[in-house]
Structure 1
Amino acid sequence: MDKKKKRSITRGVILVVLLAAIVYTVYSSATKDKVKLLQVGDKAPDFELVDLYDSNIKHRLSDYEGKGIFLNFWGTWCEPCKKEMPAMSNQYAIYKDQGVEVLAVNIAQTEFEVKNFIEGLGVHFPVAIDETRDVMTEYTIDLLPATILINPEGEVEKIITGEMNEQQIASYMESIKPEQE
Protein backbone atom coordinates (compact mmCIF):
# COMPACT_ATOMS: atom_id res chain seq x y z
CA MET A 1 0.00 0.00 0.00
CA ASP A 2 1.39 3.38 -0.87
CA LYS A 3 1.78 6.25 1.58
CA LYS A 4 -1.09 8.32 0.13
CA LYS A 5 -3.60 5.52 0.60
CA LYS A 6 -2.44 4.86 4.23
CA ARG A 7 -2.70 8.56 5.00
CA SER A 8 -6.21 8.75 3.51
CA ILE A 9 -7.36 5.75 5.59
CA THR A 10 -5.82 7.23 8.77
CA ARG A 11 -7.48 10.58 8.15
CA GLY A 12 -10.80 8.85 7.48
CA VAL A 13 -10.61 6.91 10.75
CA ILE A 14 -9.75 10.09 12.68
CA LEU A 15 -12.64 11.91 11.04
CA VAL A 16 -15.08 9.13 11.95
CA VAL A 17 -13.87 9.12 15.60
CA LEU A 18 -14.19 12.91 15.85
CA LEU A 19 -17.64 12.83 14.28
CA ALA A 20 -18.74 10.09 16.72
CA ALA A 21 -17.45 12.18 19.65
CA ILE A 22 -19.35 15.24 18.48
CA VAL A 23 -22.57 13.26 17.99
CA TYR A 24 -22.20 11.70 21.46
CA THR A 25 -21.58 15.09 23.10
CA VAL A 26 -24.60 16.68 21.43
CA TYR A 27 -26.80 13.68 22.29
CA SER A 28 -25.72 13.51 25.95
CA SER A 29 -26.18 17.28 26.38
CA ALA A 30 -29.67 17.14 24.91
CA THR A 31 -30.83 14.18 27.00
CA LYS A 32 -29.06 14.96 30.29
CA ASP A 33 -31.31 15.67 33.26
CA LYS A 34 -30.99 19.24 34.34
CA VAL A 35 -30.02 19.43 38.01
CA LYS A 36 -31.91 22.20 39.75
CA LEU A 37 -29.70 24.05 42.18
CA LEU A 38 -31.11 24.32 45.68
CA GLN A 39 -31.80 27.95 46.52
CA VAL A 40 -32.88 30.04 49.48
CA GLY A 41 -36.68 29.92 49.73
CA ASP A 42 -36.97 26.41 48.23
CA LYS A 43 -38.75 23.67 50.14
CA ALA A 44 -35.96 21.51 51.60
CA PRO A 45 -35.99 18.05 49.97
CA ASP A 46 -37.02 15.27 52.33
CA PHE A 47 -34.68 12.33 52.86
CA GLU A 48 -34.08 9.38 55.16
CA LEU A 49 -30.69 8.41 56.58
CA VAL A 50 -29.79 5.86 59.26
CA ASP A 51 -28.28 7.10 62.53
CA LEU A 52 -24.56 6.37 62.95
CA TYR A 53 -24.99 4.74 66.38
CA ASP A 54 -28.44 3.15 66.17
CA SER A 55 -29.63 1.54 62.94
CA ASN A 56 -33.19 1.57 64.34
CA ILE A 57 -33.17 5.39 64.26
CA LYS A 58 -33.94 6.95 60.91
CA HIS A 59 -33.37 10.65 60.36
CA ARG A 60 -36.08 12.01 58.09
CA LEU A 61 -36.19 15.71 57.44
CA SER A 62 -39.99 15.58 57.63
CA ASP A 63 -39.75 14.28 61.23
CA TYR A 64 -38.26 17.62 62.29
CA GLU A 65 -41.24 19.64 61.08
CA GLY A 66 -41.73 22.76 63.19
CA LYS A 67 -38.07 22.86 64.22
CA GLY A 68 -35.12 24.73 62.82
CA ILE A 69 -32.65 22.36 61.18
CA PHE A 70 -28.91 22.92 60.96
CA LEU A 71 -28.02 20.41 58.22
CA ASN A 72 -24.24 20.07 57.96
CA PHE A 73 -22.43 18.10 55.22
CA TRP A 74 -18.87 17.08 56.03
CA GLY A 75 -15.98 14.60 55.62
CA THR A 76 -13.24 13.37 57.95
CA TRP A 77 -10.52 14.57 55.54
CA CYS A 78 -11.88 18.13 55.69
CA GLU A 79 -9.87 20.31 58.11
CA PRO A 80 -12.48 23.11 58.30
CA CYS A 81 -15.09 20.43 59.13
CA LYS A 82 -12.93 19.23 62.01
CA LYS A 83 -12.51 22.77 63.32
CA GLU A 84 -16.21 23.66 63.32
CA MET A 85 -17.60 20.42 64.79
CA PRO A 86 -16.82 21.21 68.48
CA ALA A 87 -18.41 24.67 68.07
CA MET A 88 -21.49 23.06 66.51
CA SER A 89 -21.67 20.66 69.45
CA ASN A 90 -21.40 23.51 71.98
CA GLN A 91 -24.16 25.50 70.29
CA TYR A 92 -26.36 22.42 69.85
CA ALA A 93 -26.23 21.93 73.63
CA ILE A 94 -27.69 25.45 73.99
CA TYR A 95 -30.21 25.40 71.13
CA LYS A 96 -31.56 21.82 71.14
CA ASP A 97 -34.03 22.69 73.91
CA GLN A 98 -35.09 25.77 71.91
CA GLY A 99 -36.30 23.79 68.88
CA VAL A 100 -33.12 23.64 66.78
CA GLU A 101 -31.86 20.28 65.53
CA VAL A 102 -28.41 19.52 64.15
CA LEU A 103 -27.90 16.70 61.69
CA ALA A 104 -24.35 16.12 60.51
CA VAL A 105 -24.28 14.19 57.23
CA ASN A 106 -21.02 12.51 56.33
CA ILE A 107 -20.36 12.02 52.64
CA ALA A 108 -19.94 8.30 51.90
CA GLN A 109 -17.18 7.29 54.28
CA THR A 110 -17.03 4.07 56.30
CA GLU A 111 -18.80 3.73 59.61
CA PHE A 112 -15.41 2.99 61.23
CA GLU A 113 -13.85 6.24 59.93
CA VAL A 114 -16.84 8.35 60.91
CA LYS A 115 -17.20 6.90 64.42
CA ASN A 116 -13.48 7.36 65.15
CA PHE A 117 -13.63 10.96 63.92
CA ILE A 118 -16.79 11.87 65.89
CA GLU A 119 -15.65 10.12 69.08
CA GLY A 120 -12.22 11.77 68.81
CA LEU A 121 -13.87 15.19 68.76
CA GLY A 122 -16.37 14.35 71.50
CA VAL A 123 -19.32 15.91 69.72
CA HIS A 124 -22.92 15.20 70.75
CA PHE A 125 -25.43 15.63 67.95
CA PRO A 126 -27.06 13.25 65.47
CA VAL A 127 -24.76 11.94 62.72
CA ALA A 128 -25.65 9.96 59.62
CA ILE A 129 -23.71 8.74 56.58
CA ASP A 130 -24.94 9.49 53.06
CA GLU A 131 -23.57 6.22 51.65
CA THR A 132 -25.02 6.68 48.17
CA ARG A 133 -24.43 10.46 48.00
CA ASP A 134 -28.12 10.85 47.08
CA VAL A 135 -28.78 13.48 49.75
CA MET A 136 -25.62 15.37 48.78
CA THR A 137 -26.80 15.36 45.16
CA GLU A 138 -30.35 16.39 46.09
CA TYR A 139 -28.95 19.34 48.05
CA THR A 140 -26.43 20.14 45.24
CA ILE A 141 -23.44 20.06 47.59
CA ASP A 142 -20.08 20.58 45.89
CA LEU A 143 -17.67 21.82 48.54
CA LEU A 144 -17.29 20.80 52.18
CA PRO A 145 -18.16 21.85 54.75
CA ALA A 146 -21.59 22.95 53.62
CA THR A 147 -24.47 23.83 55.90
CA ILE A 148 -28.10 24.28 54.94
CA LEU A 149 -30.22 26.24 57.40
CA ILE A 150 -33.84 25.11 57.24
CA ASN A 151 -36.54 27.12 59.00
CA PRO A 152 -39.42 25.57 60.97
CA GLU A 153 -41.62 25.77 57.86
CA GLY A 154 -39.21 23.44 56.03
CA GLU A 155 -37.77 26.09 53.70
CA VAL A 156 -34.12 26.74 52.97
CA GLU A 157 -33.21 29.86 54.94
CA LYS A 158 -29.50 30.05 54.09
CA ILE A 159 -26.77 28.02 52.34
CA ILE A 160 -23.30 28.30 53.86
CA THR A 161 -20.17 26.92 52.23
CA GLY A 162 -16.93 26.91 54.17
CA GLU A 163 -15.86 26.94 57.78
CA MET A 164 -17.92 28.75 60.43
CA ASN A 165 -16.72 29.99 63.80
CA GLU A 166 -18.70 29.50 67.00
CA GLN A 167 -20.17 33.02 66.94
CA GLN A 168 -21.49 32.47 63.40
CA ILE A 169 -22.93 29.07 64.33
CA ALA A 170 -24.75 30.59 67.32
CA SER A 171 -26.13 33.37 65.13
CA TYR A 172 -27.30 30.88 62.48
CA MET A 173 -28.99 28.65 65.06
CA GLU A 174 -30.69 31.70 66.55
CA SER A 175 -31.98 32.65 63.08
CA ILE A 176 -33.76 29.29 62.55
CA LYS A 177 -35.07 28.90 66.09
CA PRO A 178 -38.87 28.55 66.14
CA GLU A 179 -40.77 31.48 67.59
CA GLN A 180 -41.78 30.86 71.20
CA GLU A 181 -45.51 31.06 71.82
Structure 2
Amino acid sequence: MGNKKKRTIFRISLLLIMLLAISYTLYQNFFTEKMRVQAGEKAPDFLLEDMQGNKVQLSDLNGKGVFLNFWGTWCKPCEKEMPYMERQYKHYKDLGVETLAINIGESEVAIEAFANKYGLTFPILKDKDSAVTETYDITPIPTTFLIDKNGTIVKVITGSMTERDIANYMELIKP
Protein backbone atom coordinates (compact mmCIF):
# COMPACT_ATOMS: atom_id res chain seq x y z
CA MET A 1 0.00 0.00 0.00
CA GLY A 2 1.37 3.39 -0.93
CA ASN A 3 2.07 6.25 1.45
CA LYS A 4 -0.66 8.36 -0.11
CA LYS A 5 -3.30 5.68 0.52
CA LYS A 6 -2.11 5.19 4.13
CA ARG A 7 -2.37 8.95 4.75
CA THR A 8 -5.88 9.03 3.31
CA ILE A 9 -7.02 6.14 5.52
CA PHE A 10 -5.41 7.77 8.55
CA ARG A 11 -7.13 11.12 7.83
CA ILE A 12 -10.52 9.49 7.33
CA SER A 13 -10.09 7.54 10.58
CA LEU A 14 -9.19 10.72 12.45
CA LEU A 15 -12.18 12.52 10.94
CA LEU A 16 -14.52 9.70 12.00
CA ILE A 17 -13.16 9.73 15.55
CA MET A 18 -13.64 13.51 15.76
CA LEU A 19 -17.20 13.24 14.42
CA LEU A 20 -18.01 10.54 16.98
CA ALA A 21 -16.61 12.68 19.81
CA ILE A 22 -18.59 15.73 18.68
CA SER A 23 -21.77 13.67 18.30
CA TYR A 24 -21.36 12.18 21.78
CA THR A 25 -20.79 15.63 23.32
CA LEU A 26 -23.88 17.05 21.62
CA TYR A 27 -25.94 14.07 22.73
CA GLN A 28 -24.79 14.47 26.35
CA ASN A 29 -25.51 18.21 26.37
CA PHE A 30 -28.89 18.18 24.66
CA PHE A 31 -30.50 14.79 25.17
CA THR A 32 -29.53 13.67 28.67
CA GLU A 33 -31.09 15.38 31.60
CA LYS A 34 -28.76 16.23 34.45
CA MET A 35 -30.70 16.97 37.62
CA ARG A 36 -29.14 19.72 39.69
CA VAL A 37 -29.96 19.51 43.39
CA GLN A 38 -32.35 22.39 44.08
CA ALA A 39 -33.95 24.34 46.90
CA GLY A 40 -37.00 22.57 48.31
CA GLU A 41 -35.46 19.10 47.89
CA LYS A 42 -34.04 16.82 50.53
CA ALA A 43 -30.24 17.19 50.59
CA PRO A 44 -28.59 14.01 49.29
CA ASP A 45 -26.89 12.20 52.15
CA PHE A 46 -23.17 11.50 52.06
CA LEU A 47 -20.38 10.14 54.22
CA LEU A 48 -16.96 11.82 53.95
CA GLU A 49 -13.81 11.96 56.03
CA ASP A 50 -12.58 15.18 57.63
CA MET A 51 -8.95 16.26 57.93
CA GLN A 52 -8.56 14.39 61.24
CA GLY A 53 -9.85 11.12 59.76
CA ASN A 54 -13.30 11.32 61.38
CA LYS A 55 -16.31 10.16 59.35
CA VAL A 56 -18.96 12.85 58.87
CA GLN A 57 -22.41 11.88 57.59
CA LEU A 58 -24.82 14.65 56.60
CA SER A 59 -27.87 12.82 57.99
CA ASP A 60 -26.22 12.75 61.44
CA LEU A 61 -26.68 16.53 61.53
CA ASN A 62 -30.50 16.43 61.37
CA GLY A 63 -31.84 18.95 63.86
CA LYS A 64 -29.12 21.46 62.94
CA GLY A 65 -28.88 23.95 60.11
CA VAL A 66 -26.04 23.07 57.75
CA PHE A 67 -23.98 25.59 55.78
CA LEU A 68 -22.53 23.25 53.11
CA ASN A 69 -19.78 24.85 51.01
CA PHE A 70 -17.94 23.29 48.04
CA TRP A 71 -14.52 24.85 47.44
CA GLY A 72 -10.93 24.51 46.23
CA THR A 73 -7.62 25.95 47.44
CA TRP A 74 -6.94 27.45 43.98
CA CYS A 75 -10.28 29.30 43.91
CA LYS A 76 -9.79 33.03 44.60
CA PRO A 77 -13.43 33.71 45.66
CA CYS A 78 -13.19 30.69 48.00
CA GLU A 79 -10.01 32.09 49.49
CA LYS A 80 -11.70 35.43 50.09
CA GLU A 81 -14.79 34.02 51.82
CA MET A 82 -13.09 31.41 54.05
CA PRO A 83 -12.13 33.91 56.81
CA TYR A 84 -15.74 35.18 56.78
CA MET A 85 -17.01 31.62 57.10
CA GLU A 86 -14.62 31.00 59.99
CA ARG A 87 -15.83 34.04 61.95
CA GLN A 88 -19.48 33.17 61.38
CA TYR A 89 -18.83 29.50 62.22
CA LYS A 90 -17.47 30.54 65.61
CA HIS A 91 -20.59 32.62 66.23
CA TYR A 92 -23.21 30.15 64.97
CA LYS A 93 -21.78 26.75 65.96
CA ASP A 94 -23.32 27.01 69.43
CA LEU A 95 -26.61 28.23 67.94
CA GLY A 96 -27.31 25.01 66.03
CA VAL A 97 -25.65 25.78 62.68
CA GLU A 98 -22.89 23.49 61.41
CA THR A 99 -20.44 24.57 58.74
CA LEU A 100 -19.09 21.89 56.40
CA ALA A 101 -16.56 22.80 53.72
CA ILE A 102 -16.15 20.09 51.08
CA ASN A 103 -12.86 20.28 49.25
CA ILE A 104 -13.03 18.97 45.71
CA GLY A 105 -10.37 16.34 45.09
CA GLU A 106 -7.19 18.06 46.29
CA SER A 107 -4.30 16.63 48.29
CA GLU A 108 -4.30 16.67 52.07
CA VAL A 109 -1.09 18.72 52.01
CA ALA A 110 -2.71 21.48 49.93
CA ILE A 111 -5.88 21.50 52.05
CA GLU A 112 -3.95 21.52 55.33
CA ALA A 113 -1.65 24.35 54.20
CA PHE A 114 -4.70 26.40 53.17
CA ALA A 115 -6.55 25.69 56.44
CA ASN A 116 -3.49 26.62 58.51
CA LYS A 117 -2.91 29.81 56.52
CA TYR A 118 -6.44 31.03 57.35
CA GLY A 119 -6.78 29.45 60.80
CA LEU A 120 -9.83 27.41 59.79
CA THR A 121 -11.43 25.37 62.56
CA PHE A 122 -14.72 24.28 60.96
CA PRO A 123 -14.89 20.73 59.53
CA ILE A 124 -13.19 20.40 56.16
CA LEU A 125 -14.31 17.27 54.34
CA LYS A 126 -12.34 15.55 51.58
CA ASP A 127 -14.22 14.55 48.43
CA LYS A 128 -11.25 12.65 46.99
CA ASP A 129 -13.08 11.02 44.10
CA SER A 130 -15.53 13.93 43.59
CA ALA A 131 -18.52 11.60 44.12
CA VAL A 132 -20.37 14.08 46.37
CA THR A 133 -19.45 16.95 44.03
CA GLU A 134 -21.03 15.00 41.16
CA THR A 135 -24.11 14.09 43.22
CA TYR A 136 -24.70 17.76 43.99
CA ASP A 137 -23.83 18.66 40.36
CA ILE A 138 -21.31 21.33 41.34
CA THR A 139 -20.08 23.31 38.37
CA PRO A 140 -18.89 26.72 39.54
CA ILE A 141 -17.15 26.98 42.88
CA PRO A 142 -17.72 28.20 45.42
CA THR A 143 -21.21 26.78 45.65
CA THR A 144 -23.04 26.73 48.97
CA PHE A 145 -26.16 24.85 50.03
CA LEU A 146 -28.21 26.10 52.97
CA ILE A 147 -29.85 23.09 54.62
CA ASP A 148 -32.46 23.42 57.36
CA LYS A 149 -32.82 21.30 60.50
CA ASN A 150 -35.02 18.81 58.60
CA GLY A 151 -32.40 18.20 55.90
CA THR A 152 -34.19 20.25 53.24
CA ILE A 153 -32.23 22.58 50.98
CA VAL A 154 -33.44 26.12 51.60
CA LYS A 155 -31.20 27.95 49.14
CA VAL A 156 -28.32 27.33 46.72
CA ILE A 157 -25.70 30.08 46.33
CA THR A 158 -23.15 30.05 43.52
CA GLY A 159 -20.27 32.49 43.63
CA SER A 160 -18.62 34.32 46.47
CA MET A 161 -20.35 35.80 49.49
CA THR A 162 -19.63 38.74 51.75
CA GLU A 163 -19.42 38.25 55.48
CA ARG A 164 -22.83 39.93 55.83
CA ASP A 165 -24.28 37.42 53.31
CA ILE A 166 -22.87 34.49 55.28
CA ALA A 167 -24.25 35.81 58.58
CA ASN A 168 -27.69 36.33 56.98
CA TYR A 169 -27.64 32.82 55.48
CA MET A 170 -26.66 31.22 58.77
CA GLU A 171 -29.43 33.16 60.48
CA LEU A 172 -31.84 31.77 57.87
CA ILE A 173 -31.01 28.13 58.71
CA LYS A 174 -30.59 28.55 62.47
CA PRO A 175 -33.03 26.12 64.17
TM-score, scaled relative to structure 1: 0.82
Q: How many residues align?
A: 171
Change (3 A) 1:19 1:112: closer
Query: Which residue of structure 2 lines up, in the alignment, with residue 73 of structure 1?
Result: 70
Query: Which residue of structure 2 lines up, in the alignment, with residue 154 of structure 1?
Result: 151
Q: Which amino acid aligns with 1:141?
A: I
Query: How far apart, CA to CA, are the structure 2 residues paired with 1:128 and 1:20?
Result: 39
Give the percent of matched residue pairs that are identical in Structure 1 and Structure 2.
46
SS of 1:148's equivalent in the other structure is strand
Superposition deviation, residue 25 in structure 1: 3.2
Structure exhibiting the larger radius of gyration computed from Cα positions: 1
Superposition deviation, residue 33 in structure 1: 6.2
Query: Which residue of structure 2 lines up, in the alignment, with residue 29 of structure 1?
Result: 27
Q: Which amino acid aligns with 1:49?
A: L
Gaps of 5+ in 1: none
Query: Which residue of structure 2 lines up, in the alignment, with residue 52 of structure 1?
Result: 51
Query: Which residue of structure 1 lines up, in the alignment, with residue 140 of structure 2?
Result: 143
Superposition deviation, residue 15 in structure 1: 8.9
1:1-150 alignment, distance < 5 Å: 10=8, 14=12, 18=16, 21-22=19-20, 25=23, 29=27, 34-53=33-52, 55=53, 57-150=54-147
Query: How far apart, CA to CA, are the structure 1 residues paired with 2:156 and 2:99?
Result: 15
TM-score, scaled relative to structure 2: 0.85
Q: What root-mean-square deviation, in Å, do the aligned CA atoms of Structure 1 and Structure 2 show?
A: 3.0
Gaps of 5+ in 2: none
SS of 2:151's equivalent in the other structure is coil
SS of 1:84's equivalent in the other structure is helix
Query: How far apart, CA to CA, are the structure 2 residues paired with 1:59 and 1:85?
Result: 20
Change (3 A) 1:24 1:84: closer
Superposition deviation, residue 19 in structure 1: 9.2
SS of 2:39's equivalent in the other structure is coil
